[in-house]
Amino acid sequence: MKAHGIVHKYGDNVDTDVIIPARYLNTADHKELASHCMEDIDKDFVKNVKDGDIMVANMNFGCGSSREHAPIAIKASGISCVIASTFARIFYRNAINIGLAILECDEAAKDIDAGNEVEVDFDTGVITNITKNRTYKAEPFPEFIKDIINKGGLLNSLK
């Protein structure tokens, strides 16, 4: 499995309140949530994002509220993969549980810039920055987590 797209880049401590503000949590509709994704820190994100694009950020991505609406909004906006130096733990868990691909890779997170064209190979963990002609290696998932992802999320893995 691979992801290939243009990068939307953010900094440290991107919290779930800015990924999807609480004022929109009166719905669980995926498309509606996606239509407000990132608007408090990047009001152009929704306008610019294209299917398959990649989100890259630095430390502690997804900190704060446990709202699963946050990875849902990112996934439903068309983002195929989030790469960060580190993830907040509830966001990390939620992303795996709903099948949003995420990778921890400090080197990639630091080097990749907004607008770079990036390809991710999930089988090898290799991230290729086509714009800069560089590659980075992400930590592969533990087997336990691979199993959840391969079965299409947590609930499918319990069946």
- The binding site for another protein (CB under 8 A) comprises 13, 15, 17-18, 21-23, 25-28, 40-41, 59-60, 63-69, 71-72, 86, 88-90, 93-94, 97-98, 142, 144, 153-156, 158-159
- In angstroms, how far is the first alpha carbon of the chain from the final one? 23
Shortest gap between Cβ of 125 and another protein (angstroms)?
Answer: 19
Contacts of 142 (CB under 8 A, 6+ apart): none
Query: 21 near 40, Cβ under 8 Å?
Result: yes
Residue 47 or residue 159: which is nearer to another protein going by CB? 159
Q: Strands 54-57 and 81-84, how do they pair?
A: parallel
Spatial separation of the C-alpha atoms in residues 122 and 140, rounded to whole Å: 8
Residue with smaller CB distance to another protein, 33 or 56? 33
Nearer to another protein, 35 or 135 (CB): 35
> 41 vs 130, which CB is nearer to another protein?
41
CA distance 80 to 74: 9
Least distance to another protein, CB of residue 124, Å: 22
